[in-house]
Chain A
Amino acid sequence: MNMQLDFEHRHAAHCENGVVRNLLNFYGIQLSEPMILGLGSGIFFSHMPFYKLHGMPLTSFRPFPGTIFNRVTKTLGIDIQWHKFKDPDKAMQKLDEILFKGIPVGLRVGVYNLSYFPQEYRFHFNAHNLCVIGKEEDEYIISDPIGMNKHRISSADLKKVRYAWGTSPPKGRMYYIKSLKDYRPLDEKMIDKATLKTCSDMLHIPFPMFGAQGVAYLGRRMRKWEDMYGKRGAALNLAQVIRMLEEIGTGGAGFRFMYAAFLQEASEMLNRPLWNQLSMELSETGDMWRDFSYHGARFFKNREGKIQSYDDLATKLQIISDRETDIFTRLEKSIKRG
């Protein structure tokens, strides 16, 4: 059986935002990608030495995968459904069943076996999102938001990436929109509530490794890296942080800019000039993150020169942490007062 939904594929900066935006758009709800990020409180930071990816501490710039979809749909009163399966064949059957009802389905997949990714990008990263929008013979038509175009993937390959293994395996997870009967259009209250949630995540989690203070925590750990892992190990850890910062669709510096774009959009919508100012300041911290990556990358070249030490990099993180704390504190206050 062949079919393809009339689904508008649009490229996005981040996979989950992109899937959520494209799914909502399919149902006639038009929101920008930054607005999705804002409503989903998708900006975050955590550095967890006890949670490993490739044997190195995981640094993440986003909340746990799936969170943005859940938060955005809950806020807008949209009814959704999640599934996960033990049996891969059942997972594929269910996908067909929902798809043939005319419903686009979001999938969480691993990128290790994702055939259209360049080899260099394929590591055991299990939080990529894409949307299945059609099937022809044995091929699925997919909308992967980090691609400029729609693409195809064989059903055997799709099964493989849905059952990728490693840190937090997707286990065939799929999600879709069930009904819009309680849908509420976007309003000021929703934006305020989501923004307060973001501020709370960035400021008030009482552990040092989360939120804005987590950035400083990463800095403090970084000062010890050379002693802990040796020269090469330290550089590998740094490489992993920079990859998480800049890798396609995982967030990082890009998220600072995108959240800044959200603040700008909201500032115009709600007529709050202060938010535009905060937006500009957050965009500056994005630049500071990029400066961090730029200097960090010098560790990977053996050329001697003006190499900065891990202490210098850690100091940069300390400054970023202070700036972000300040920005989110003022953002939070602006809502609580208003």
Chain B
Amino acid sequence: MKVNEVPQDNAFLQSDNQIGLRDRYYALDEDGKFQEVPSVGWKPKNAAIQFAWNNRAEEAEKVRQQVITGKYSPLAYHMERLLMTSSILSQYTGLSRYKITKYCKPRHFIKMKPEDLSRLAAALNISVEELTTID
């Protein structure tokens, strides 16, 4: 890659972000020497990231519909949306995987103890109110 070919396609990095996250490439200058060039992103990578998240959003929407029909609880929707699996959530909260899977069902979800609810909400970085709704 030549110095002038280093991509600058920004998609996700906020310009007001104080830390200034950047990629950095080692690219060749006209004399065939490597130079370091910071970059804000590249289209194909952005497309891959966007695709993965779009797919995630679609999956979450499917679960949301199933929450409305009463198959799953809001917990299942938020886990799907926030990239959580029962095993990782179990590691964060200390609750067993079995319990978390159980809470994904509405009839167990409504009987959940408040402290379990707040632990799950904390691990998902959302408030208890958010965790109990699907908007």
Chain A contacts to B: CB under 8 angstroms: 11-13, 33-34, 54-55, 112-113, 116-118, 120-121, 123-124, 144, 146-151, 165-166, 169, 232, 235-236, 238-240, 242-243, 245-248, 254, 257-258, 260-261, 264, 280, 283, 286-287, 290, 293-294, 296-297, 300-301
Contact = CB atoms under 8 A, between A and B. Distances in A.
A246 B12 CA distance: 14
Contacts of B47: 297, 300-301
Given A120-B53, A239-B51, A260-B34, 19 more contacts: A13-B26, A113-B125, A116-B21, A121-B12, A124-B88, A144-B19, A146-B23, A147-B20, A148-B19, A148-B22, A169-B91, A236-B55, A240-B48, A245-B45, A254-B25, A260-B26, A261-B34, A297-B43, A297-B44
Contacts of A144: 19
Contacts of A113: 125
Given A13-B26, A257-B27, A261-B26, A286 B1 contact: yes
B18 interface: yes
A288 to B, nearest CB: 11
Nearest to A243: B48
Nearest to B58: A232
Contacts of A147: 19-22
Chain A residues touching B, majority SS: helix
Top 6 nearest A-B pairs (CB, nearest first) are: A148-B20, A297-B44, A165-B91, A147-B19, A246-B45, A300-B51
23 contacts: A11-B38, A34-B26, A54-B83, A116-B17, A118-B14, A124-B83, A124-B88, A147-B22, A148-B21, A149-B19, A236-B55, A242-B44, A242-B45, A243-B49, A243-B52, A245-B45, A257-B25, A257-B26, A257-B27, A283-B1, A293-B45, A297-B44, A300-B48
